[in-house]
C-alpha cells in the first residue's frame, strides 16, 4: 500500500553550509521532479526548499520510502549517505502529516509564529503541482496543511508581537506615531543592528533615512541601501532636528546625546514627538533624555523585555496551535483511511456492474420488454447490486475507521489486510492502484 514519507533537514539539525548543499534552486526543481518520477516506487512528490529547511515529500509503494528519498538526495547532491543521515530527519505516514502541519502552523520555525513559512509552503506546492509531480494524496495533504496554517493564524495570536530587537523597535515606533509614513529616520553609527532596524522601518513606509557615521564611506554604503542621505558624524547634532526616529549604535565611550542637547533640538522641532532607540553597549544616549518633553527613549534592555514578553505570549498561543494541529491530523487521518478503501469499493462495484451489465444485455435481447419495463428491470438490477455490496463495503469502512487502529490504514492490523486480500480473492478483483486513482 501507499506510504506518505518525508526526508529533510532544517535549522534544528543542520548548520547553514549543509542546508545550502541540500537546497534546490528553482532551475533544479524540474530535473529533481523528473528523477523522482522515474523512480519505480515513487508515485507523487513535492519539494520544500527555503533558507532554513529542505524537505522532500513523496507517496511511495515501498515500505522503505524514506530510504528511497535519502538515496535520491544523496545522489542528486552528491552527499554521502552517512553524512546525510547525520543532518537529516525522516517521517512516515501520520508522522509525516503531523510534521507538515506543524511546519505550516510555524510551530517548527526558528521563530515560532513567523509568517513567511506559510507562503513558502504555498509556493513549494504550486511549483510541485505545476511540474505534475503531485497527485491525489499530496494535493489533499498540502491543501489541508495550508488550511491548517491559516486556521492557526486566524484562531490564535501566535504571530502577534515582535520577537526580535529590530521588530520590537518598529512596533514601539508604531505605538508612538501610529503611522510611520512621512517620518524621518536618523541612524547614528552604521552597525548591523541599526541597519536591520532601519530596514524594517523602511518596509513600514518611513519617507527618509539619514545615516551619520564617523567613517563617511561606511555612511555612504549604508545610505545607498535605503536611498538615504549620508553624513560624516561629528559633535554637531543639528541633523536630528528633522529626525522623528533616532537609532544609535556606536562604540563611543561616552554619551553622544545628552539631555541639554536634545532639549535644544526638541525646542527647534517645536516639541514634535521623537522616538530614540539606543542599542549601543555602553549606551550612546543619556537616560536623562527620557525626561525631555515628547522624547521617548528605549535602550537594548527595554527592547529585550518587550521581546521576552512577546515570546512568552507566543508560547501560550503555541499551546493552542498544537491542539489545533492534533485535531486536524486526526481529521486527515480519517480522510486517508477513507481514501485507502475507496479503490477497493470502486473495484467491487465495477466488478458487479460489469457482470450485471452483460447479463442484463443478454436478458433484454431475449425478452420483449417495452421501455418502461426495461427501466424497471435496470433499476431492480442496480438495487440488487447495492444491497449485495452494502455489507462488505460497510464492514470494510468500519475496519478502516476503527479508532483502535494505530497509524494510517497503511499501518492497520492484520484484520484489515486479510479482509482486503479476501475480497480480492473471492471476487477476482484486479489489484487496485491506490488512492491516486480515486476521487471522493
Domain total of the chain: 3
Read off the pLDDT of residues 367-381 as tens digits, 9 standing for 90 and up.
888 889 888 888 998
Determine the Cα–Cα distance for residues 315 and 241; give it in Å rounded to an integer: 41
| CA 367 from centroid of its chain's CA atoms | 64
* Residue 265 shares a structural domain with residue 361: no
Read off the pLDDT of residues 218-233 as tens digits, 9 standing for 90 and up.
999 999 999 999 999 9
Give the CA count within 13 Å in the CB-facing half-sphere of 255: 12
Q: Which of 111-120, 253-262, 286-295, 302-311 has the lowest mean pLDDT?
A: 302-311
Q: Tell whether the model's pLDDT for residue 435 goes beyond 70.
A: no
Establish if 144 belongs to a structural domain: yes
Determine the Cα–Cα distance for residues 231 and 187; give it in Å rounded to an integer: 10
Angle (deg, nearest 10), helices 65-77 and 26-38: 130
Tell me if the pTM is above 0.75: no
* Residue 112 shares a structural domain with residue 11: yes
Distances (CA, A) of 235 to 108, 186, 223, 261, 275: 48, 15, 20, 10, 20
In 234-294, at which residue ranges do the beta strands (DSSP E only) sit? 245-248, 274-278
Q: Tell whether the model's pLDDT for residue 340 goes beyond 80.
A: no
Share of the chain above pLDDT 90, in %: 54
Read off the pLDDT of residues 144-187 as tens digits, 9 standing for 90 and up.
999 999 999 999 988 876 677 778 888 888 889 988 999 999 99
Q: Tell whether the model's pLDDT for residue 210 goes beyond 70.
A: yes
* Residue 149 shares a structural domain with residue 7: yes
Establish if 300 belongs to a structural domain: no
* Residue 220 shares a structural domain with residue 141: no
Domain boundary among 116, 138, 155: 155
Which pLDDT score is estimated for 62? 82
Which pLDDT score is estimated for 403? 42
The residues carrying an active-site annotation are 51
| Closest-CA residue to 335 (of 152, 118, 60, 148) | 148
Establish if 135 belongs to a structural domain: yes
* Residue 272 shares a structural domain with residue 354: no
Establish if 322 belongs to a structural domain: no
Which pLDDT score is estimated for 436? 40
* Residue 342 shares a structural domain with residue 286: no
Which pLDDT score is estimated for 184? 96
Establish if 76 belongs to a structural domain: yes
Establish if 210 belongs to a structural domain: yes
Which pLDDT score is estimated for 392? 76
In 191-241, at which residue ranges do the beta strands (DSSP E only) sit? 208-213, 229-232
Written as one string, the DSSP assignment of 305-339 is: HHHHHHHHHHHHHHHHHHHHHHHHHHHHHHHHHHH
Burial class (CB in 10 A: 0-12, 13-18, 19+), 174: middle
Q: How many distinct helices (H) and strands (E) make up the chain?
A: 14, 10
Determine the Cα–Cα distance for residues 315 and 203; give it in Å rounded to an integer: 27
* Residue 145 shares a structural domain with residue 16: yes
* Residue 22 shares a structural domain with residue 107: yes
| Closest-CA residue to 307 (of 176, 194, 169, 162) | 162
Q: Tell whether the model's pLDDT for residue 422 goes beyond 80.
A: no
| Closest-CA residue to 187 (of 304, 298, 254, 279) | 279
* Residue 275 shares a structural domain with residue 374: no
Strand-pair category, 42-49 with 53-60: antiparallel
Q: Which of 103-107, 295-299, 333-337 has the lowest mean pLDDT?
A: 333-337
| Model confidence band, residue 414 (pLDDT cutoffs 50, 70, 90) | low
| Model confidence band, residue 417 (pLDDT cutoffs 50, 70, 90) | low
> Residue 427: which H helix or E strand, with range?
helix 414-427
Read off the pLDDT of residues 31-64 as tens digits, 9 standing for 90 and up.
999 999 999 999 999 999 998 899 999 999 888 9
Top-ranked range on mean pLDDT: pick from 17-26, 303-312, 342-351, 416-425: 17-26
* Residue 287 shares a structural domain with residue 384: no
CATH of the domain at 242: 3.40.50.720
Residues in the chain, how many?
Answer: 440
| Contact assessment for residue 116 and residue 72, using Cβ atoms and an 8 Å cutoff | no
Read off the pLDDT of residues 233-281 as tens digits, 9 standing for 90 and up.
988 899 999 999 999 988 888 999 999 999 999 999 999 999 999 988 7
Share of the chain above pLDDT 70, in %: 90
Establish if 214 belongs to a structural domain: yes
* Residue 150 shares a structural domain with residue 7: yes
Burial string for 292-318 (b: 16+ CB within 10 Å, else e) reads: beebbbbbbebbeebbeebeebbeebb
Per the listing, cell 503531485 goes with 134
Collapsed DSSP state (helix, strand, coil) of residue 118: helix
What residues form DSSP beta bridges with 297?
276
Establish if 168 belongs to a structural domain: no
CATH of the domain at 133: 3.30.460.30
Angle (deg, nearest 10), helices 192-203 and 165-177: 50
Q: Which range marks the domain in which residue 89 is found?
A: 3-155
| Higher pLDDT pick, 110 / 129 | 129
* Residue 289 shares a structural domain with residue 347: no
Which pLDDT score is estimated for 430? 64
Determine the Cα–Cα distance for residues 440 and 433; give it in Å rounded to an integer: 15
Burial class (CB in 10 A: 0-12, 13-18, 19+), 149: buried
| Model confidence band, residue 438 (pLDDT cutoffs 50, 70, 90) | very low
Q: Give the chain's mean pLDDT.
A: 87
Which pLDDT score is estimated for 269? 95
DSSP3 helix / strand / coil % (the chain, rounded to 5): 60, 15, 30
Amino acid at each position: 500500500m501507499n506510504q506518505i514519507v518525508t526526508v529533510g533537514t532544517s535549522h534544528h539539525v543542520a548548520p547553514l553550509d549543509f542546508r545550502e548543499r541540500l537546497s534546490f534552486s528553482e532551475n533544479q526543481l524540474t530535473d529533481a521532479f523528473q528523477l523522482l518520477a522515474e523512480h519505480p516506487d515513487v508515485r507523487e512528490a513535492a519539494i520544500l526548499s527555503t533558507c532554513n529547511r529542505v524537505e522532500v515529500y513523496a507517496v511511495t509503494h515501498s515500505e522503505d520510502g524514506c530510504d528511497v528519498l535519502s538515496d535520491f538526495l544523496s545522489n542528486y547532491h552528491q552527499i554521502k549517505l552517512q553524512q546525510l543521515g547525520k543532518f537529516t530527519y525522516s517521517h512516515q505516514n501520520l508522522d509525516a502529516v503531523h510534521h507538515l502541519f506543524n511546519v505550516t502552523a510555524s510551530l517548527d520555525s526558528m521563530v515560532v509564529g513567523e509568517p513567511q513559512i506559510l507562503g513558502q509552503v504555498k509556493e513549494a506546492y504550486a511549483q510541485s503541482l505545476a511540474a505534475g509531480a503531485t497527485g491525489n494524496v499530496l494535493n489533499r495533504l498540502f491543501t489541508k496543511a495550508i488550511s491548517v496554517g491559516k486556521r492557526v493564524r486566524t484562531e490564535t495570536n501566535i504571530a502577534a508581537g515582535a520577537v526580535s530587537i529590530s521588530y520590537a523597535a518598529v512596533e514601539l515606533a508604531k505605538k508612538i506615531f501610529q503611522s510611520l509614513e512621512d517620518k524621518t529616520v536618523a541612524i547614528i553609527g552604521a552597525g548591523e543592528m541599526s541597519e536591520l532596524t532601519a530596514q524594517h522601518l523602511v518596509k513600514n513606509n518611513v519617507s527618509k533615512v539619514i545615516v551619520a557615521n564617523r567613517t563617511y564611506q561606511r555612511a555612504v554604503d549604508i545610505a545607498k541601501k535605503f536611498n538615504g542621505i549620508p553624513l560624516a558624524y561629528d559633535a554637531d547634532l543639528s541633523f536630528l532636528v528633522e529626525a522623528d526616529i533616532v537609532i544609535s549604535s556606536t562604540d563611543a565611550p561616552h554619551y553622544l546625546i545628552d539631555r541639554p542637547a536634545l532639549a535644544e533640538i526638541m525646542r527647534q522641532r517645536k516639541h514634535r514627538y521623537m522616538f530614540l532607540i539606543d542599542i549601543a553597549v555602553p549606551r550612546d544616549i543619556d537616560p536623562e533624555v527620557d525626561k525631555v518633553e515628547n522624547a521617548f527613549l528605549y535602550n537594548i534592555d527595554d527592547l529585550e523585555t518587550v521581546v521576552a514578553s512577546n515570546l512568552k505570549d507566543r508560547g501560550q498561543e503555541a499551546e493552542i496551535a498544537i491542539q489545533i494541529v492534533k485535531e486536524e491530523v486526526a481529521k486527515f487521518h480519517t480522510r486517508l483511511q477513507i481514501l485507502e478503501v475507496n479503490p477497493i469499493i470502486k473495484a467491487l462495484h465495477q466488478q458487479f456492474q460489469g457482470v450485471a451489465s452483460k447479463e442484463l444485455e443478454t436478458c433484454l435481447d431475449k425478452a420483449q420488454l417495452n421501455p418502461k419495463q426495461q427501466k424497471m428491470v435496470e433499476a431492480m438490477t442496480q438495487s440488487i447490486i447495492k444491497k449485495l455490496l452494502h455489507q462488505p463495503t460497510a464492514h470494510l469502512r468500519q475496519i478502516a475507521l476503527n479508532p483502535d487502529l494505530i497509524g494510517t490504514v497503511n499501518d492497520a492490523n492484520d484484520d484489515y489486510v486479510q479482509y482486503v486480500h479476501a475480497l480480492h480473492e473471492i471476487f477476482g478483483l484486479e489489484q487496485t492502484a491506490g488512492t491516486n486513482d480515486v476521487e471522493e
